[in-house]
A and B are shown apart, each in its own frame.
Chain A
Amino acid sequence: MTTTSSAQHTRRDFLYVATGAVAAVGAAAAVWPLISQMNPDASTIAAGAPIEVDLTPIAEGQDIKVFWRGKPIFISHRTKKQIEDARAVPVSSLPDPQTDQARVKEGHDQWLVVIGICTHLGCIPIAHEGAYDGFFCPCHGSVYDTSGRIRQGPAPSNLPIPPYAFVSDSKIKIG
């Protein structure tokens, strides 16, 4: 390279930096659609619309499993004893302290609606199993009580509650 005057030098550097910067912006913008396409598409989002579940056929002590957004939702029609068990536990003794009242809708204490996915590593627990007559995850031994709260095992938190509301006394809308 031959010597160039300093004035030329700055102008040239500015041009190089500007070109490089525009190229970098272009490359970054081009990557955006390539990543964005992996998100759920419009039909998947539309299929994730709320679902309604009729509770009439579920007898006391029985529980059913429905699917919403690809996740199993457990709906338990709890017995008096199960509710009492859940409420008798001192909240402070729980790994993830939460009252039973906070996990059901007021006036519908017998209905427990939880996402049936173990908060440890995503397996599906079995209902009516384990030491607390709640849920038991066979993969790594997490035990949940009749309120779906974690009591033993590696899971860090309670079974999550999906967004839902009572449309009538015998019908809920999940989502």
Chain B
Amino acid sequence: MSGPSSYQPSHPALQWFEKRLPLIGLIHSSFIAYPTPRNLNYWWTFGGILSFMLGVQIVTGVILAMHYTPHVDLAFNSVESIVRDVNYGWLLRYLHSNGASMFFIAVYIHMLRGLYYGSYKAPREVLWILGVIIYLLMMATGFMGYVLPWGQMSFWGATVITNLFSAIPYVGESIVTLLWGGYAVGNPTLNRFFSLHYLLPFVIAGVVVLHVWALHVVGQNNPAGVEVKTEKDVVPFTPYATIKDGFGIVCFMIFYAWFVFYIPNYLGDPDNYIPANPGVTPAHIVPEWYYLPFYAILRSIPSKLGGVIAMFSAIIVLAFLPWLDSAKTRSSKYRPLAKQFFWIFVVVCVLLGWLGGKPAEGIYITAGRILTFCYFAYFLIVLPILSRIETPRAVPNSIADDVLAKYGKKAGPMAPVILALVLAGGLVMGGSQNAKAAEGGPTPPSLSWSFAGPFGKFDRGALQRGYKVYKEVCATCHSMNLVHFRNLADPGGPGFSAAQALAVASDIQVKDGPNDAGDMFDRPGRLADKFPAPFPNENAARAANGGAYPPDLSLLAKARNYDRGFPQFIFDFFTQFQEKGPNYIDALLQGYEDAPKDFQLPQGAYYNKYFPGHAIKMPKPISDDQVTYDDGTPQKVENYAKDVATFMMWTAEPHLEARKKLGLQVMIFLIIFAFLMYFTKKKVWADAH
């Protein structure tokens, strides 16, 4: 499999080049002539999918870095300007942020496949350890990337994770200060995280080259777990593996596109749409879903140092797997006990992930400890013992025999396995959304919105009425710092003409200056101006609102959520539900009531049944007949609330219509492409059976 290349270029120019740098020969022997076992199943395509995702992340990341500003004052808004103003910026950002999740989904399947089929066993130990190193680098990269948008979760995630190092005895505090480059997470931290987030993917790419190199020296493992013996056991990489991986990648792209185009914020935390605030911690700090099992292990140990050691050990233990499991039989297919314990281990990981998203209290702590024990027991107790006591079934003599035995037999267990994995994935994903369970309160009713679903569009009338409500009611206290008057005339918006938007803008006096004389002056608003704040600064806003700061409304619809409970979030994935924010805003505006007798309402607060804690500082902002509607819509709070929530959804997601429209085109394309790839793959493989 290694050794001198069989590649013989025919063209004299290529021969000349090949003698001096055998690059084409290397590519030829690695990706064309390279022999792959002919019995590989689709779990093996995740290696190809991972290469594809690394490419996607590097390309989109390099482009995003062209528009991003790594400064604490500018980072949040620079990300928003990417999404709002840069051509296709929303697409690139969502590809990158969801791409991270896809990368981790693929790597977990890739790792579990290795675990199930014993891909870590001799002679593939170095290959496996290189994989563990890649995984560690991915975790570091993913974490630092999550910090860059500088939202609340970014900031507090960075604080919590860097504080892990303070558990180191004697020098912990100094190390944390070193990591921060300051006395707290701040601008130096953001700068170095950006630099490293840009650097590490290239380090990953380098280790991936080593990983693939090691793979090509020892050859691929396969579902039978027997080594390649004869020519009959293998097929050339191209076209066989190439077309199969290609088909796998296209199927994976459909899954990926589902997230990017229809539920781009499903996996993210709404709190990250609130700019970082070093003065307020979110109620529950949760990492991204792919770290949740390790987060649960961290929290299960009632000791700071112990928790940190347990968390890191949970990953490091993987590197010792080749020696912990000394069974001679590789594939769990032929190990009845190991197979069962493997699936128990998968369930343990999924449950740990679910616990990681739960608040650390009560039964969750006990469950966390039991599962943490199970996690380590699998590696340190179960596998070593099993390898001594288990009697494996007979393995096939050769890969060719395995293929012949399977030929004609239906692959029965595949479907339930995939279904179980999808549901498990759903559980993990939903886990992060569940983290606010402890806040309580009635759940806002789910409304039907015109912009819901794959074909959803904003209701122009509602947007225009909503703008009116915002301007006449909300704008007396709240700003919209990310929305410009020009946006009113953007496609997919309220449908104002440029002249109408200009008229709206010039109605407003904007403070500008200083001019040549050094004076500030008022001028009529322009299209390029933002929706202004009604107060000159934060302190004035607080003073006018009884000490409460009226939040900026531009991102409110994406920054608010409420618990949907189990199993709702699984349905949310399939129904593409993403109307949490608008539902919440609508409910909040209608949730004002007289406080129940036994409720202690704090001074200067008002009772609202949908507000967490029920005591809100904002008085009931709107009542019937307050805003005049010209189009005959009833002038009721109900309608005002729905219209203004629609408008706020548009200000939070101005390219929603463009996203869904492009999504439909991409989906149709990918489905056609997947069919073509499938039939091509069948034709290509027809020769191999």
B88 close to A37 (CB less than 8 A): yes
Q: Are B59 and A34 in contact (CB under 8 A)?
A: yes
Question: A12-B683, A46-B486 are contacts. A41–B673 as well, Cβ < 8 Å?
Answer: no
Can you list, as one digit per residue, whether each of B648-689 has a CB less than 8 Å from chain A (1) or not (0)? 000000000000000000000100110011011001000100
Are B528 and A34 interface neighbours, CB within 8 A? no
Indicate if the CB atoms of A15 and B683 lie closer than 8 Å: yes
Say yes or no for B298: interface residue by CB 8 A criterion.
no
In A1-18, the 8 Å CB interface with B consists of 1-2, 12, 15-16, 18
Q: Tell me, yes or no, whether A93 is within 8 Å of chain B by CB.
A: no
User: Given A43-B81, A49-B528, are A37 and B676 also a contact pair (CB < 8 Å)?
Assistant: no
The yes or no answer to B92 lying at the interface (CB within 8 A) is: yes
| Contact (Cβ within 8 A) A15 B85 | no
| Structural contact, A42 and B84, CB atoms closer than 8 A | yes
| Cα(A12)–Cα(B486), bound, Å | 53
- List of B residues within 8 angstroms of A25 by Cβ: 669
- B500-540: CB near A (< 8 Å → 1, else 0) gives 00000000000000000000000000111000000000000
Q: Which residues of the other chain, B, contact A33 by a CB distance below 8 angstroms?
A: 87-88, 91-92
What is the bound-complex CA distance between A43 and B687, given in angstroms? 57
Q: Is A23 an interface residue (CB 8 A)?
A: yes
Q: Are B680 and A47 in contact (CB under 8 A)?
A: no
CA distance A18 to B669 in the complex (A): 13
Q: CB-CB < 8 A to A43: which residues of B?
A: 81, 85, 484, 528
Bound-state CA distance A26–B676 (Å) is: 13
CB closest chain-A residue, reference B677: A19
Measured CB to CB, the nearest residue on chain B to A23 is B673
Q: Please determine whether B85 and A42 come into contact, CB atoms closer than 8 angstroms.
A: yes
In the complex, which residue of chain A has the Cβ closest to the Cβ of B679? A15
- A14-55 interface bits toward B, Cβ cutoff 8 Å, 1 = contact, 0 = none: 011011001101100100011011110111101101000000
User: What is the interface size of chain A, counting residues whose CB is below 8 A from a CB of the partner?
Assistant: 25
Complex-state Cα separation, A42 to B67, whole angstroms: 13
Q: How far is the CA of A24 from the CA of B478 in the complex (A)?
A: 49
The one of A15, A16, A22, A34 that contacts B672, using a Cβ cutoff of 8 Å: A22
Q: Is B131 an interface residue (CB 8 A)?
A: no
Residues of A within 8 A of B679 (CB): 15, 19
C-beta contact mask, A147-163 vs B, less than 8 Å → 1, else 0?
00000000000000000
CB distance from A31 to the nearest CB of B (A): 10
Contact call B63/A37, Cβ cutoff below 8 A = yes
Of the candidates B87, B89, B490, B526, the one whose C-beta lies within 8 Å of that of A49 is B526
* A33, B91: Cα distance in complex, Å: 8
Inter-chain contacts of B81 with A (CB < 8 A): 41, 43
Q: Which residues of B contact A22 (CB under 8 A)?
A: 669, 672-673, 676
| Cα separation A88 to B67 with both chains bound (whole Å) | 51
Q: Which parts of B289-328 form the interface with A (CB within 8 Å)? A: none
Q: How far is the CA of A46 from the CA of B502 in the complex (A)?
A: 12
List of A residues within 8 angstroms of B91 by Cβ:
33
Q: Residue on B with the closest CB to A2?
A: B687
Q: Which residue of chain A has the shortest Cβ distance to B485 in the bound complex?
A: A46
> B86: which A residues are within 8 A, CB to CB?
37, 41-42
The reply to whether B676 and A19 form a contact with Cβ atoms under 8 Å apart is yes
> Given A2-B687, A12-B683, A15-B679, are A26 and B673 neighbors across the interface (CB < 8 Å)?
yes
User: Of A15, A36, A46, which one neighbours B88 at CB under 8 angstroms?
Assistant: A36
Contact with A along B89-121 (1 / 0, CB 8 A): 101100000000000000000000000000000
Q: How far is the CA of A42 from the CA of B89 in the complex (A)?
A: 11
Closest Cβ of chain A to B252, distance in Å, is 14
Residues of chain A lying within 8 A (CB to CB) of residue B88: 33, 36-37
Q: For the complex formed, measure the closest distance between the CB of B515 and the CB atoms of chain A, giving whole angstroms.
A: 11
In the complex, which residues of chain B have a beta carbon less than 8 angstroms from the beta carbon of A19? 673, 676-677, 679-680
Closest CB of chain A to B456's CB: distance in Å? 22
Bound CA span A136–B528, Å: 36
- On chain B, the residues within 8 Å of A42 by CB distance are 84-86, 486, 490
Q: Across the two chains, which residue of chain B brings its CB closest to A42?
A: B85
A-side contacts of B92, CB under 8 Å: 33-34, 37
B673: chain A residues within 8 A (beta carbon)? 19, 22-23, 26
Whether A41 and B85, one on each chain, are in contact in the complex, defined by CB atoms closer than 8 angstroms, is yes
Nearest chain B residue, comparing its CB with the CB of A33: B88
CB distance from A69 to the nearest CB of B (A): 13
Q: CA separation between A47 and B526, bound complex, in Å?
A: 10
User: Considering the chains assembled together, what is the distance between the CA atoms of A49 and B489 in angstroms?
Assistant: 15
Chain B residues in 8 Å Cβ range of A2 = 687
Q: Which residues of A contact B67 (CB under 8 A)?
A: 37, 41
Are B527's CB and A41's CB within 8 A? no
Digitize A120-149: 1 where CB-to-B-CB distance is under 8 Å, 0 elsewhere. Answer: 000000000000000000000000000000
A49 x B527 contact (CB < 8 A): yes
User: Among residues 45 to 90 in chain B, which have CB atoms less than 8 Å away from a CB atom of chain A?
Assistant: 59, 63, 66-67, 81, 84-89
**Cα–Cα, bound, A46→B81 (Å):** 13
- B residues less than 8 Å from A44 (CB atoms): 85
Minimum C-beta distance from A25 to chain B (A): 8
Complex Cα–Cα for A43 and B527 (A) = 10
**A2 to B527 CA separation, bound complex (whole angstroms):** 69
Residues of A within 8 A of B486 (CB): 42, 46
A residues in contact with B89, CB < 8 Å: 37, 41
- A16, B63: Cβ atoms closer than 8 Å: no
Least Cβ distance of A132 to chain B in Å?
Answer: 31
Checking B66, B87, B484, B669 against A46 with a beta-carbon cut-off of 8 angstroms, the contacting residue is B484
Tell me which residues across on chain A come within 8 A of B84, comparing CB atoms: 42
Whether A36 and B677, one on each chain, are in contact in the complex, defined by CB atoms closer than 8 angstroms, is no
Within 8 A of B (CB), among A36-83: 36-39, 41-44, 46-47, 49
CB distance from B583 to the nearest CB of A (A): 29
Interchain CB contact under 8 A, A15 and B676: yes
Specify the chain A residue showing the minimal Cβ separation from B253. Answer: A26
Contact between A18 and B676, CB atoms less than 8 A apart: yes
Closest Cβ of chain B: how far from A141's Cβ, in Å?
34
Q: How many angstroms from the CA of A43 to the CA of B673 in the assembled complex?
A: 37
Report which of B63, B527, B683, B687 forms a contact with A34, defined as CB distance below 8 A.
B63
11 contacts between A and B (CB under 8 A): A19-B680, A22-B672, A26-B669, A33-B88, A33-B92, A36-B87, A36-B88, A37-B67, A41-B87, A44-B85, A46-B486
8 tightest CB-CB pairs across the interface, nearest first?
Answer: A33-B88, A46-B528, A42-B85, A41-B85, A19-B676, A36-B87, A41-B86, A19-B680
Other A-B pairs, 13, CB within 8 Å; known A22-B676, A41-B85 = A19-B677, A19-B680, A37-B67, A37-B87, A37-B92, A41-B67, A41-B86, A43-B81, A43-B528, A46-B484, A46-B528, A47-B528, A49-B527
